[in-house]
Structure 1
Amino acid sequence: MLTQTHLDTAVKRGIINTAQQADLISLALESEDDPSNEGTGETPVAGADEDLRLVGGGNDLFVTVGILMLFSGVGFVLQTWLGNNQMIRAALMAVLLWLVAEFVTRQFRMKLSSTVLGLGFLGYTSAIIGLYIWDVLDLAKLADNPQLAFGLRPTIGSYGSAFFGGIAVISVLYFWRFRVPIMSAAIAISLTGLAFLWTFLYFYDGVTDGRVQLPTIEQIPLILERALMMPLICGIIVFCTAVYFDLRDRERSTVWSDCAFWLHVISAPLLVHPLFILATGQDVVLGKIEPGMTASIMLGLLISVFVYVALAIDRRSLLIPTLAYFGSLGVYYMIETTANSTGLPPLALILLVIGLLVIMFGAGWQRIRALIVRPTLPTSLINKLPPIRV
């Protein structure tokens, strides 16, 4: 029976092109919807759902458990042999993880196992860089005298850039070798950390040079609100990169689609938090929303915009963090009055509201996309977005 894997292999070997693959998938879906095919027991090569491809099956889970057990044992052995020599232990673990990935990832393309190996390799290589910087700067002395941190400014920029830049380079190399999608998230996080570092140093230098005056207590909320521009800009860049990957793989059949999934997961918090605070007028010092109808209206508009964008690009990975954030923070204040009048706990109402939304979107995602997205966007743009499978 023809499967999605067969089609992917056919594209890689040049037997068919991407457009022909999409036509075959559409034909399979049309056959599935045809009533005359009921009872045949045939399974389409691609479903109408968002295929995350995070787990490759029972054997993948089995191998993942074996990997965790193997490296747990190796960790105890290295600790026994090498003692507190953390640098060498981390280096040996990283080398062993790479060698196992050459077998598990390169030869068998096991998805969950490859993700675990990739995260493990990235963790140990990051530890190597961090331990090196810790020793060179002798950061242990800061525990006894925190004021010494002010003297690190001449070197913190270069070493901080080496840390975040090193993680980004390692992630790129690992992705180039093994094509593990979660490395895209690691690249995004490391570059975002680099942007935050230099933004902080820029304002720090402005204060020490006398170009920027220290804010008064009254000015602190305004300064904190302006500081939200940095995560918002980073979130927009990560989101646009994810959308670019989505547009170049409408049928979600390549590794770039999986990379886009992880980038949407990273971009959602970076976008939601600053927009939530800026739009609702939340007091970033006390952590409360200003009372009134304006905050509620702006919160509702924000939720609607994120839902619409998630439907348009067919990415629940963008919507789930959004609903979780709004449900835990924004909706609490909106329904607090209702909870106080009914005697129900606010958490119960939050769970009810968010649970109903998740079930509704989960059960009828593509139908909701067809009802909302198709009539509101031009055909030329719809043809570039992931197809609406109804």
Structure 2
Amino acid sequence: MIDEATLDRAVNQGILQPGQRDALLALAGSATDSGHLSGETSASLSVDDQMRLVGGGNDIFVTVGIVLLFSGALFALRAIFPHDSLTIAPLLALASWIVAEIVTRQKRMRLSSTLLALVFSAAILSMLVEFIVARFDLPTTVNAFSLLALRADAWPMGLILGGGLIAAAAVYFFRFKVPVLAAVIALAATGLAFLGAILIYHDQMVSGAIAAPATDQLAEVLSNALAVPLVCGVIIFAVAVFFDLRDRERQTVWSDCAFWLHVVSAPLLVHPLFILATGQEVLSGQIEPGMAAGVLLGLMMVMFVLVALAIDRRSLLAPTLAYFGSVGIYYLVNGAANTTGIPPFALILIAVGAVVILFGAGWQRIRRLIIRPLLPTSLLNRLPPIKA
């Protein structure tokens, strides 16, 4: 059997691509696991479990070293250069790239590589912010009038910040194939979408196409603005599903990218739908859903659970339980809490925790019982396989 060191040398010499190397290791791991697992234990493992964030004890050890190295480097550079210097961030970005050539490119350490990618992204973001501060005449005090004065430079600054981060993350990704950068790119693109929507709304008010909202209309305006994260969430979710369908067995880096895209898309989808379903007042946060809203809330919970089971992604289900489940359970148990003296929040934690354990322990069995009879075979053959 070829060991990991040989596969690493094959990647360095261009014989294999990093994704092919990961696929071979995943295949070897599944073959080894099949020799040790049997019956329900093997069947309970989901292909989603192949998304590993930690590569072992040595990976954690190196991660601690990276934290210490870059923490010390940041304090040392701040002692040498002024805080507003444009030198610190580029040096940290360059250092993270150099360390990644060893930790990521050669050793393929997962947790360490993720941390290095985030350090690189943070350094690039800091460098872009410092460039914007030095390049544009920003106001010293921030208020409504000073922000309106930035209208002419708002889009160029947004493109420099968001576009620059997307470009840098894309270059880093194609060099090192670190999946977490998919989330960085998605968040930067979402930020640009928010900025574009704000500028369009501002220009329409200035031109007189729409009237400026009164004080009592701000809540409605903010509710309408939820369309932006909802649309962005749908797009990011669609891209993640596209990656999932291309790799049903989840053995390549693209399925790991899909995992992070699901992590980003889930709150963007769930939060706007939660507010729409419950009728939550955006400014005050008060929730007074009626019977129709409660029914709609339940239907949305069922929909998200079915979608999460179908695509085999727990990351989509976590915020659903946090948003939908908590408020729905609150109204179910509030009466019981008032009579027993138990705080409603405690009952919420118990109920949501029980649901999480149920889905976590019997995920594949639940998928098999619900999804297999519900969907046609033609669609099941395109989704992640359901373990027998």
State if a TM-score over 0.5 links the two structures.
yes
The one of 363, 366, 384 equivalent to 1:365 is 363
C-alpha distance 110-311 of structure 1, shift in aligned 2 (>3 A): same
Say whether 1:181 aligns with 2:179. Answer: yes
**Structure 2 equivalent of residue 119 of structure 1:** 118
Q: Which moved more, 1:321-330 or 1:205-214?
A: 321-330
How far did 1:57 drift?
0.3
Counting aligned pairs with the same residue, the percent is 51
**Structure 1 equivalent of residue 347 of structure 2:** 349
Unmatched runs of 5 consecutive residues or more in structure 2: none
Unmatched runs of 5 consecutive residues or more in structure 1: none
C-alpha distance 71-24 of structure 1, shift in aligned 2 (>3 A): closer
- State the SS of the aligned residue for 1:275: helix
C-alpha distance 360-233 of structure 1, shift in aligned 2 (>3 A): same
Q: Give the alignment's TM-score, normalised by structure 2.
A: 0.88
How far did 1:26 drift?
8.7
C-alpha distance 362-151 of structure 1, shift in aligned 2 (>3 A): same
Say whether 1:309 aligns with 2:307. Answer: yes
Q: Give, in whole Å, the separation in 2 of the partners of 1:3 and 1:74.
A: 35
Matched to 2:243, the amino acid is: F
C-alpha distance 23-377 of structure 1, shift in aligned 2 (>3 A): farther
Q: Deviations 1:38-93 (Å, cap 9, x if unpaired)?
A: 9xxxx99x866622211100000011111111111212221222233432111111
Q: Give, in whole Å, the separation in 2 of the partners of 1:110 and 1:195.
A: 33
Q: Give, in whole Å, the separation in 1 of the partners of 2:33 and 2:120.
A: 40
- State the SS of the aligned residue for 2:87: helix
C-alpha distance 3-352 of structure 1, shift in aligned 2 (>3 A): farther
Q: Deviations 1:160-187 (Å, cap 9, x if unpaired)?
A: 1221111111111110110000000001
Alignment of 1:244-259 (within 5 A): 244-259=242-257
Contact 1:134 1:140 in 2 (8 A): no
Q: Give, in whole Å, the separation in 1 of the partners of 2:60 and 2:195.
A: 38
Matched to 2:135, the amino acid is: V
Matched to 1:265, the amino acid is: V
Contact 1:64 1:116 in 2 (8 A): yes
Q: Give, in whole Å, the separation in 2 of the partners of 1:7 and 1:299.
A: 50
**Structure 2 equivalent of residue 52 of structure 1:** 51
C-alpha distance 349-47 of structure 1, shift in aligned 2 (>3 A): closer
- State the SS of the aligned residue for 1:50: helix
How far did 1:228 drift?
1.2
Q: RMSD value over aligned CA atoms?
A: 3.3
Number of equivalent positions: 380
Q: Deviations 1:267-307 (Å, cap 9, x if unpaired)?
A: 00000011111123222233222343222222111111111
Q: Give, in whole Å, the separation in 2 of the partners of 1:4 and 1:355.
A: 39
How far did 1:33 drift?
3.6
Q: Give, in whole Å, the separation in 2 of the partners of 1:101 and 1:75.
A: 17
Contact 2:278 2:289 in 1 (8 A): no
How far did 1:330 drift?
4.4
**Structure 2 equivalent of residue 61 of structure 1:** 60
The one of 285, 293, 299 equivalent to 1:287 is 285
Contact 1:312 1:369 in 2 (8 A): yes
Comparing both chains, which one has the higher relative contact order based on Cα–Cα distances under 8 Å and sequence gaps of 6 or more? 2
Say whether 1:98 aligns with 2:102. Answer: no
Contact 2:46 2:312 in 1 (8 A): no
The one of 152, 155, 158 equivalent to 1:157 is 155
Contact 1:171 1:187 in 2 (8 A): yes
- State the SS of the aligned residue for 1:83: coil
Say whether 1:339 aligns with 2:337. Answer: yes
